[in-house]
A and B are shown apart, each in its own frame.
Chain A
Amino acid sequence: MRVMAQMAMVMNLDKCIGCHTCSVTCKQAWTNRTGTEYVWFNNVETRPGQGYPRRYEDQEEWKGGWTLNQRGRLALKGGGRLRKLLTIFSNPKMPSIQDYYEPWTYDYATLTDAPAQEHTPVARPKSLLSGKDMKVTWSSNWDDNLGGSKATGEHDPMLKKIADKVRLEFEETFMFYLPRICEHCLNPSCAASCPSGAIYKRSEDGIVLVDQDRCRGWRMCISGCPYKKVYFNHRTGKAEKCTFCFPRIEVGLPTVCSETCVGRLRYIGLMLYDADKVLEAAATTDEHGLYEAQREVFLDPHDPEVQRAAEQAGIPRDWVSAAQRSPIHALINRFRVALPLHPEYRTMPMVWYIPPLSPVVDVVKDTGHDAEDKGNLFAAIDALRIPIEYLAELFTAGDVAPVDGVLKKLAAMRSYMRDINLGREPDPSIPAAVGMTEEEMYDMYRLLAIAKYDERYVIPPAHSEQAHALEELATECSVSEYGGGQHGLFGEGSGVPTPIAVENFQMLQDRQTADTLASPADKSARVNLLNWDGKGSPSGLFPPRPGNAGADQPEGEAP
């Protein structure tokens, strides 16, 4: 037994209202830079829908993740080491920018600069890649709220698998939101695909990161990740991915997406797992067995033997106790309501989901029946095969039974808690019907419905004896390690400066002075507020001071 700790997340999909706050705050924090315009470390997809990038779940097309080879052993679906090196000059499976979307801005200046004329001036969309006029035809959430799904919905790869039963008729539609971040897998295929060895899994907390100094831009991680959550920064030529907000996690704060989640649907906590069992579990022959196999990899932090092994593995005691209080452990292994996203990719993902009961509840409610009655809900779960088979394609490789079980637990919780809320005698037969005790059911209710901040996020901070090495505390002046101090040299925002590389120094400078819209000539006179993080005052935010007119303000310095 080799105990390792993994920082993990669970999202309760019933609570997601699709507001995209997580996406926007994540973008503000991490990808509001040139070169990452199209990048969303966190995105929210409407399902059924194609997702972002388009149809990323179709692994017969994209060849992401792992598969079992003819001898039944685990192999990269996109081909092994030799094949990777032979195709290194042109990655055959890399999505193009059109599969994400071509980033654009608008020619806002015409709105204010236009002379008096008969027609209202129009701000035309301009490509952020070429600066030319473009037609906006796709984006990261083009099919938000099933918008246009009449035309594009049938391209959903998951829907295709159950297509013969599905018609996207309006009356039969069901819909839910799926927020996605990097899965920080136990068996990450992006890391396995990286020829340079730049992607690594942190041994302390399992966060998967890209070493920006080692990445050489071979792009194999982008096609290797089945979730398409590694992105290529087209300005720096390096891969970037969700960092699980590690500078925040290290000091005990939740990720930005969790912190700002309006529905409070995200949970963060530790999972202890047996690293020796990971490959064996990932190589489970039957795809339907992968969910159970991954649950077997997790260790019970209450087991004294596990605690001893954890101590031997150098996991601090407060981390073990945090693992005991972990909401993730409770949701995955105690209540068993959380399921992994696409276990069939065999990467052992560590961001899990509680499938939504709402498609079922909505149908029951619409028919005029009591949507909190156990009998009605159970019958509906049994009857509504299409939403449930769809959920199973997402969370259990198509195995309906676990999804069924979870939804029944959630339904049972609804009707059990109604009795309590109405002051009636609670009915012990309800939890018993789904194999739970009354106490467990109430605990689950507490965790899902009213858990406070410190119950939803049980994040043991990294240890103070290592504090000098932590990003957020930065007692070592980590900025200077990246050639720092050049605050706002060419960047648009503030904070830690983007490292300036020898090759793109000139290019970045040119972008500041070019005539094109991608980097307008009058840039000094405008500020992209979307990219401004609120710190400092970029030049152009305020008009020049009287008396100082003409003389340029030093960029980024507050007056």
Chain B
Amino acid sequence: MDVFLWVIVPYLCIATFVVGHFWRYRYDKFGWTTRSSQLYEDRLLRIGSPLFHFGMLGVVGGHVIGLLVPQAWTDAVGIGEHAYHLVAVTGGLLAGVMAVVGLAILVYRRRTVGPVFSATTVMDKVMYAFLAAAIVLGMWNTIAGSIMTIGGEYNYREGVSVWYRSFLAFQPDADLMAEAPLGFQLHALVAFGLFALWPFTRLVHVFSAPVGYLTRPYIVYRSRDVQLGSRSRRPGW
């Protein structure tokens, strides 16, 4: 059971994530968009969307640090357990609260504003459920696990993070995850579910974050015959 939950399911989800994106990009570039609903409603979005997105940027950054940087490294540069914990919890809490409040506003908006609701697909609803569940469980882990220490102390950097790195290195150690508290287990499972859904939802827009805009010239010139449609040009012979 442990192997199924912490080896097979995660790999299946990640495989779906990777292959799904590849397929979606090849087949459905036209559908690759944010599907913004700002045109319909602006007042709630103006508060909710930046809150949620900037909060999520913080959350993702925190996960990258927490999961990918081994404890030995931070110990080596002299950041003690307590100091790390303090920074992580404060930052995590701030970003998490932003994301949760933002998400609440956005979900409320999606449900109550007529045009926005009627533009909501089934996939959107499923995705929202997974996303909300992952965020709420994550917040629970931060608040209940790290601050209130319900169910005893748990240092995820010696458990979940190590498992995650072993998972990325294709030498997964399922026992580490099996010993983790239930909150972390659920959070991880829901997150992997979200990864599996990812390529088939509007979440794909994350991967088109337009950082190239900072360096490209303002006006783009393109020749007519270089490319028409998404297929590249045939050679001239």
**B contact set with A: CB distance below 8 Å:** 24, 27-42, 45-46, 49-50, 52-54, 114-115, 118-119, 121-123, 200-202, 205, 208, 210-214, 216, 218-225, 228-231, 233
Residue A428, interface by CB 8 Å: no
- Sampled A-B contacts (24; CB under 8 Å): A81-B214, A82-B214, A89-B50, A90-B42, A94-B39, A97-B39, A130-B115, A192-B218, A195-B210, A197-B212, A199-B220, A201-B220, A202-B224, A213-B230, A216-B210, A217-B33, A217-B36, A217-B205, A236-B31, A469-B224, A469-B228, A478-B228, A503-B123, A506-B123
CB-defined contacts of A217 to chain B, threshold 8 Å:
33-36, 205
Q: A473 → chain B, closest Cβ, in Å?
A: 11
Residue A212 lies at the interface, judged by CB distance under 8 Å to chain B: yes
Contacting residues of chain A (478-519) with chain B, CB-CB under 8 angstroms: 478, 481-483, 499, 501-504, 506-507, 516, 518
Is B45 in contact with A90, judged by CB distance below 8 angstroms?
yes
The one of A214, A462, A506 that contacts B122, using a Cβ cutoff of 8 Å: A506
**Docked complex Cα distance between A258 and B162 (Å):** 68
B31 touching A89 by the CB < 8 A rule? no
**In-complex Cβ contact of A89 among B49, B123, B222 (8 A):** B49
Which residues on the A side are within 8 Å of B229 (C-beta)?
A: 213, 478, 481-482
- Minimal beta-carbon separation of A294 from chain B (angstroms): 16
Q: A187-B219, A518-B118 are in contact. Are A213 and B224 (CB under 8 A)?
A: no
Q: Does A106 contact B (CB under 8 A)?
A: no
Q: Is the CB of B213 within 8 A of A234?
A: no
Q: Is there an interface contact between A129 and B118, defined as CB atoms closer than 8 Å?
A: yes
Chain A residues whose C-beta falls within 8 Å of the C-beta of B37 in the assembled complex: 234
| A518 CA / B24 CA spacing, docked (Å) | 29
Using A94-B39, A502-B24 as known contacts, list a sample of 18 further A-B pairs with CB atoms less than 8 Å apart, ordered by residue number in A: A81-B214, A90-B38, A92-B46, A96-B39, A130-B115, A197-B220, A201-B220, A203-B221, A203-B224, A212-B30, A232-B36, A234-B119, A466-B225, A482-B229, A501-B31, A504-B121, A506-B123, A518-B118
Residues of A within 8 A of B50 (CB): 87, 89-90
Number of residue pairs across A and B with beta carbons under 8 Å? 170
Say yes or no: is A218 at the interface (Cβ < 8 Å to chain B). Answer: yes
Q: Chain A residues with Cβ under 8 A from B224's Cβ?
A: 202-205, 250, 462, 466, 469
Query: B54: which A residues are within 8 A, CB to CB?
Result: 89
Question: Which residues of the other chain, A, contact B220 by a CB distance below 8 angstroms?
Answer: 191, 194, 197, 199-201
Complex: A91 Cα to B49 Cα, angstroms: 10
Is A534 interfacial (CB-CB < 8 Å)? no
- Docked CA distance A482–B118 (Å): 26
Known A469-B233, A506-B123; contact A201-B222, beta-carbon cutoff 8 A: yes
Residue of B nearest to A206 (CB): B221
Whether A471 sits at the interface, judged by CB under 8 Å, is yes
- What mask results when residues 297 to 312 of chain A are scored 1 for a CB within 8 Å of chain B, else 0? 0000000000000000
CB contacts under 8 Å to B, within A218-242, are 218-219, 232, 234-238
Whether A499 contacts B201 by the Cβ 8 Å rule is no
Q: Which residues of B contact A483 (CB under 8 A)?
A: 27
How far is A194 from B121 in the complex, measured between Cα atoms in Å?
Answer: 27
Q: Which residues of B contact A235 (CB under 8 A)?
A: 119
Which residues of A from 331 to 390 have beta carbons under 8 Å from B? none
Asked if A502 and B28 make an inter-chain contact with CB atoms under 8 angstroms apart, the answer reads: yes
Question: In the assembly, what is the distance between CA of A85 and CA of B202, in Å?
Answer: 19
B210 touches A218 (CB 8 A): yes
Q: A215 on the interface (CB 8 Å rule)?
A: yes
Question: A196 at interface (Cβ–Cβ under 8 A)?
Answer: yes
Closest to A188 in B: B219
A502–B218 CB distance below 8 A: no
Contact of A85 among B122, B214, B219, B231 (CB under 8 A): B214
Most buried by A among B114, B200, B219: B219
Q: Which of B31, B49, B218, B231 contacts A503 (CB 8 A)?
A: B31
Q: Is A81 in contact with B119, judged by CB distance below 8 angstroms? A: no
Question: Which residues of A are found within 8 Å of B38, using beta-carbon distances?
Answer: 90-91, 94, 96, 219, 232
A195 touches B33 (CB 8 A): no
- Indicate whether A132 reaches chain B with its CB closer than 8 angstroms: yes
Question: Which residues does chain B contribute within 8 Å of A200, judged by CB atoms?
Answer: 220-222
CB closest residue in chain B, given A204: B224
Residue of B nearest to A191 (CB): B219
Q: Which chain A positions have C-beta within 8 A of B221?
A: 200-203
Nearest residue, chain A, Cβ from B114: A130
Do the beta carbons of B223 and A213 come within 8 Å of each other?
no
Nearest 6 CB-CB pairings of A with B: A501-B31, A130-B114, A195-B210, A192-B218, A237-B35, A129-B115
Minimum CB–CB distance for A321 against chain B, Å: 20
Residues of B within 8 A of A87 (CB): 50
B114 touches A132 (CB 8 A): yes
A236–B33 contact, CB under 8 A?
yes
When the two chains form their complex, are residues A502 and B36 in contact, meaning their CB atoms are under 8 A apart? no
Q: Which of chain A's residues has its CB closest to B113's CB?
A: A130
Distance A238 CA – B45 CA, assembled complex (angstroms): 18
From A90, A212, A462, A503, contact of B35 by CB (8 A): A503
Kindly state the separation between the CA atoms of A206 and B114 in the bound complex, as whole angstroms.
40
What distance in Å separates the Cβ of B216 from its nearest Cβ neighbour in chain A?
6
A131 CB within 8 Å of chain B: yes
Assess whether A84 is interfacial by the CB under 8 Å rule.
Answer: yes
B residues near A76, Cβ cutoff 8 Å = 218
> Complex Cα distance A471/B225, Å?
11
Interface string of A86-129 (1 = CB under 8 A from B): 01111110101100000000000000000000000000000101
Q: Give the distance in Å from the alpha carbon of A502 to the alpha carbon of B27 in the complex.
A: 9
Chain B residue contacts of A90, Cβ below 8 A: 38, 42, 45-46, 49-50
Inter-chain contact A197/B213, CB cutoff 8 Å: yes
Question: Chain B's nearest CB lies how many Å from the CB of A243?
Answer: 13
Q: Which residues of A contact B39 (CB under 8 A)?
A: 94, 96-97, 232, 234
Minimum C-beta distance from A86 to chain B (A): 9
| Cα of A218 to Cα of B40 in the assembled complex, Å | 15
Q: Bound complex: CA of A242 vs CA of B184, how far in Å? A: 52
B34 to chain A, nearest CB (A): 4
Complex contact B32–A216 (CB within 8 A) = yes
Chain A residue nearest to B218 (CB atoms) is A192
Minimum C-beta distance from B38 to chain A (A): 6
